[in-house]
Chain A
Amino acid sequence: MPDNSFTSFVRRTLARREATLMVLLVVLLVPISVRSPQFLSIKNVNTILNDMAILVIVAIGEFYVILSNGIDLSVGSVIAFTGMACGMLNESHPEFPVPLLLVVGMGIGALMGLLNGVLVAYGKIPPIITTLGTMSIFRGMTFVLSKGTWVTAHEMSPSYIALPRTTFLGISLLLWIAMLVILSFYYFSRFTRTGREVYAIGGNANAAKFVGVSETKIRVTVFLISGTLCGLAGSLWTARYASAVNEMATGFEMQAVAACVLGGVNFAGGAGGIIGVALGTLFLGVITNALPVVYISVFWQTFVQGLIVLIALALNTISDQRKNRKLLAQRRG
């Protein structure tokens, strides 16, 4: 019975969302690059990838929360607080080793994620309400911490600003970090018990409980992952944009959710994958960067993003319904 032949593997792969996204990307890139041959230049591709690097890190955190049938609206605020904290630390202690700033960011982010997770898992507050609350709280904490001021480029140490731009083998450190995050979480999903248990809880928390999976542990874990990754993203954000402002990453949760939805992650939990999220992010990046090329004003940017998310969600629902109908027909027949 086990059907592991190569052809079936290919067929299964083609049927997946990841393949559809790849095809769509190519279809999209052809007219764009015809119109503007520079679009696919190494320089521009590099820019797009670097622009998307922070988003993919955050989207992966968001992915785990959505996979567990939750949502994290506080990602933008966690980025802002950790980014501000790292910027201020760098300003007051320029001698503090720059790589450790990333660790500090991750640590603070982890604590914030932990708070979300504990409220959801033990306080039994729905994720959307919990993170709506902490979204404001964390943003408020940012203002309190900075007393409303900014950290500007000349107040930061040059080595911190240079960090994401440092290249290794022609690829920026920012991109290396993003790829490392993608790979480790791909591994986490496929090869760890906890990774698999997230799918079980998101797919059917009740059934998972019956086999001894701890729901509270998983719920805390997903928010912990999301918080930690946002902390990492925050510390990188400040360096990349060479400033820490109180309003940074406002609305970023929408982009993170959009990347997940585009990547085929089921909004009701239990289905989706890291590669899909990465491709979803890339897709979003290409669209955003291509708008000026096809002479659509940047003012339309958020409009188009929203439109794409709606279309992606509708497609997810339609394909689910079609699948269900097919199943029903099979069983009857």
Chain B
Amino acid sequence: MQQALLEVHNLTKIFPGIRALDDVHLSVRSGEVHALIGENGAGKSTLVKILTGVYFPTKGSLELDGKEISFKNAIDAQEAGIVAIHQEASMFPELSVTENIYMGHHLRNPKTNKLDWKAMTENTRTLLSQMQLDIDPDTLVKNLSVAKRHMVEITKALSLDAKLVIMDEPTSALTGREVEDLFRIVRDLKEKGKAILFISHKFDEIFEICDYYTVLRDGQYIGEGKVADSDEDAIINMMIGRSIDQMYPEHTTFQGEKILEVKGLSQLGAFKNISFDLHKGEILGFFGLVGAGRTEVVRTIFGIDKASEGTMRIEGKPYNPKTPRDAMRHGIALVPEDRQKQGLVLKMSLTRNISLPILNTLCWRGFITKKKCEQSYVTKHGGQMEIKAAGYHVDAETLSGGNQQKVVLAKWIGTEPKILILDEPTKGIDVATKAAVHEFVCEMASRGVAVILISSELPEVIGMADRVLVMHEGFQTGFVDRKDLTAELVMRYAIKNVQSEDSHA
């Protein structure tokens, strides 16, 4: 086997409270396409950020071409020959293709020391034609399709004479035709002797284009191998194959009457044909990998976005929410994914945050007349969640992530929801708080609340949910009942590509 271009040894990255990468290995050779595989939160993004000089590793070494390297910043990494093409292209839409490609490494005329736009445009034209791309170097990037922007990013990598090109979910926004174009270019790069680190959730793509793979799980290196020597089952097992070491609280599984019925719910560009029933007292898990469209579905149920098709019924009556207030009136509560951006008003006190959804019950004609009630309400529900803070008068921004999440939960219990939707409620919080959240969810269910639990952590979904709805790229790919609930089955649905089987999609 030829010598590796990039060698990563014992790489560890610790963030306050979290071990994002733990002793990770990776070796990529020139002229190969190497798949980096793992669930959400497995540590792929952190690894990429270290490789591109955005983060500095806590421990471990990087070797490029046999020489040990360390990057102080992103420009260092670029100059060393590692270029990442990001999920959401980081481009300047108001500038031309040439300007974008040469941003940060402009060519200068050696005599006058002025920017040499003529040379840059010509070089761009050559690079684009080498890639058989029909793009005019003077076009503004904002006028290009998403696919072509990707191509321009790749061209930029070539102009930098990159040795290793990192592609993070490059096909997520592309159509079938465009994916083929991309793969043609990837093969082209491979022939030119470039190494490509390919991050994807789509197994059919990995099997089509990649030569080797490395699997990460929970920030740890699990294994690597030749794609041709493995199959889906083996890789899935590596992705999920862990004992569910965490204890999940037991909750008596009973299914009460049907409360929410969703039929054929669709939203253009986000999700398609989602159908399920939700019963009182059950926990319905929503699982999927990044970009599966789970958040979009619950936002629609909560009246933030509008559905383009489909019907919803609550307790048998048609339900058509136009605003979150409509949803709240029907007894729905949504604990959003990003507690800092969507869950809390950080500059407001805990008291005011917690009482915000129920302010109308404390008011008489718009005047807050029941301040005493407010205080006791806040103390009661805050106490229930065991929020640790200097008092309820402190601003929400002073709390730790876990305690902030408790405030968000406290805020919603008091509304006495009939349907409680939790979007990634344990993301980025400590183990103790995690357990408290799990307990809280089970308690709500045993009180007869219907719970929808979105989670990207497979063990959490398996441990908590009665039934699991699995999505992939906006499609509902599976529905698993408690009795059939295994990690393998759920993961199999989560990577199932409906689009390629569905000719009309």
> Is A223's CB within 8 Å of the partner chain B?
no
Is A2 a contact of B379 with CB atoms below 8 Å? Answer: yes
Number of interface residues of B (CB under 8 A): 45
Q: Does B109 contact A (CB under 8 A)?
A: no
Q: A199 in the interface, Cβ–Cβ < 8 Å?
A: yes
Give bound CA distance, A331 to B357, whole Å: 28
Contact: A12 with B393, CB < 8 Å?
A: yes
Interface-centre pick from A211, A327, A332 (highest chain B CB count, 10 A): A211
Query: Which single member of B341, B367, B383, B392 contacts A192 (CB below 8 Å)?
Result: B367
CB atoms of B368 and A191 under 8 A apart = yes
Report how far A192 CA is from B366 CA in the complex, Å. Answer: 6
Q: How far is the CA of A200 from the CA of B401 in the complex (A)?
A: 20
- Could you count the A-B residue pairs with CB atoms below 8 Å apart for me: how many are there? 103
Taking a contact as CB atoms closer than 8 A, the residue among A200, A206, A327 that contacts B397 in the complex is A327
In this assembly, does A295 line the interface, its C-beta being within 8 Å of a C-beta of chain B? no
Quick one: which of A2, A191, A330 contacts B392, CB cutoff 8 A? A2
The smallest C-beta distance from A8 to any residue of chain B, in angstroms, reads 7
Q: Are B345 and A208 in contact (CB under 8 A)?
A: yes
| A-contacting 9-mer, from B42-50, B77-85, B144-152, B320-328 | B320-328
Distance A206 CA – B337 CA, assembled complex (angstroms): 12
The answer to whether B324 touches A199 (Cβ under 8 A) is no
Beyond A3-B391, A210-B342, A211-B357, 5 extra complex contacts between A and B, CB < 8 Å: A1-B379, A2-B375, A2-B392, A193-B360, A212-B323
Bound Cα distance from A203 to B397, whole angstroms? 11
What residues of chain B have their CB less than 8 Å away from a CB belonging to chain A?
16, 302, 304, 323-325, 327-328, 334, 336, 341-348, 352, 356-357, 359-360, 362-363, 366-369, 371, 375, 379, 382-383, 387, 389-393, 397-398, 400-401, 411
Give chain A interface residues in 26-48, CB to chain B under 8 Å. none
Task: For the complex, give the distance between the alpha carbons of A207 and B366 in Å.
Answer: 21
**A199 in contact with B363 given A210-B324, A212-B324, A327-B397 (CB within 8 Å):** no
Residues of B within 8 A of A209 (CB): 304, 324
- Per the bound structure, the CA–CA distance linking A332 and B411 in Å amounts to 26
Give the docked Cα–Cα distance between A208 and B411 (Å): 12
Q: Which residues of chain A have C-beta atoms less than 8 A from B345's C-beta?
A: 199-200, 203-204, 207-208, 270
Check B391–A1 contact: CB distance below 8 A.
yes
Residues of B within 8 A of A214 (CB): 323, 325
Q: Check: A271 CB closer than 8 A to any chain B CB.
A: yes
B16, B348, B368: residue with the most chain A Cβ atoms closer than 10 Å = B348
Give A195-234 as 1s and 0s: 1 = Cβ < 8 Å from B's Cβ atoms.
0110110011011111111100000000000000000000
How far apart sit A42 and B397, CA to CA, in the bound complex (Å)? 45
Determine the chain A residues whose CB is within 8 A of the CB of B341 once the complex forms. 204, 206-207
Task: Say whether A238 faces chain B, with CB atoms less than 8 Å apart.
Answer: no
Supply 13 A–B pairs (Cβ within 8 Å), ascending by A. Answer: A1-B382, A1-B389, A2-B379, A191-B371, A193-B363, A204-B341, A204-B347, A208-B356, A209-B324, A210-B302, A212-B357, A270-B347, A270-B348
Report the count of interface residues on A (CB-CB < 8 A): 33
Binding site for B on A (CB under 8 A): 1-4, 8, 12, 190-194, 196-197, 199-200, 203-204, 206-214, 266, 270-271, 327, 330-332
For the complex, give the distance between the alpha carbons of A206 and B359 in Å.
18
- In the A-B complex, the 4 residue pairs with the smallest Cβ-Cβ separation, listed nearest first, are A212-B325, A3-B391, A203-B345, A211-B357
A257 to B334, CA, bound (A): 37
Closest residue of B by beta carbon distance from A195: B368
Which of chain A's residues has its CB closest to B371's CB? A191
Cα A317 to Cα B491 in complex, Å, equals: 48
- Contact in complex: B347, A266 (CB < 8 Å): yes
Q: Is the CB of B389 within 8 A of A204?
A: no
Contact of B391 among A4, A210, A213 (CB under 8 A): A4
Closest to B398 in A: A327
CB atoms of B323 and A3 under 8 A apart: no
When chains A and B are docked, how far (Å) is the Cα of A199 from the Cα of B324? 19
Interchain CA distance A49-B72 in the complex, whole Å: 58
* Alpha-carbon gap, A84 to B359, bound state (A): 41
In this complex, which of A207, A271, A332 has the most chain B Cβ atoms within 10 angstroms of its Cβ? A207
Distance between Cα atoms of A266 and B346 in the complex (Å): 13
Q: Does the CB pair A211–B411 fall under 8 Å?
A: yes
Q: Which residues on B sit within 8 Å (CB–CB) of A211? A: 324, 328, 356-357, 411
CA distance A194 to B369 in the complex (A): 13
B347 touches A271 (CB 8 A): yes
Let me know if B352 and A331 touch, CB within 8 A. Answer: no
By the criterion CB–CB under 8 Å, are B391 and A199 in contact? no
A47 to chain B minimum Cβ distance, whole angstroms, is: 37
CB distance from B423 to the nearest CB of A (A): 10
Indicate if the CB atoms of A210 and B325 lie closer than 8 Å: no
Interface centre among A8, A204, A271 (most CB of B within 10 A): A204
In the complex the two chains form, is A210's CB within 8 Å of B343's CB?
Answer: yes
Measured between beta carbons, the chain B residues less than 8 angstroms from A212 are 323-325, 327-328, 357
Chain A neighbourhood of B369, CB < 8 A:
191
Q: Which chain B positions have C-beta within 8 A of A270?
A: 345, 347-348
Q: A194 vs B398: C-alpha distance in the bound complex, in angstroms?
A: 25
Distance in Å: Cβ of A271 to nearest Cβ of chain B: 5
Q: Are A196 and B368 in contact (CB under 8 A)?
A: yes
Chain A residues near B367 (CB-CB < 8 A): 191-193
Residue numbers in B under 8 Å from A194 (CB-CB):
366
CA distance A81 to B428 in the complex (A): 55
The reply to whether B348 and A200 form a contact with Cβ atoms under 8 Å apart is: yes
Q: In the complex, what distance in Å separates the CA atom of A212 from the CA atom of B412?
A: 12
The CA-CA distance from A191 to B371 in the complex, in Å, is 9
Cβ contacts under 8 Å, B344 to chain A: 204, 207
Closest to A209 in B: B324
- Bound complex: CA A211 to CA B366 (Å): 17
Contacting residues, chain A, for B390 (C-beta < 8 A): 3
Contacts of B392 in A (CB 8 A): 1-2
Q: Which residues of B contact A207 (CB under 8 A)?
A: 336, 341-345
User: A206: which of B342, B362, B391 is its contact (CB, 8 Å)?
Assistant: B342
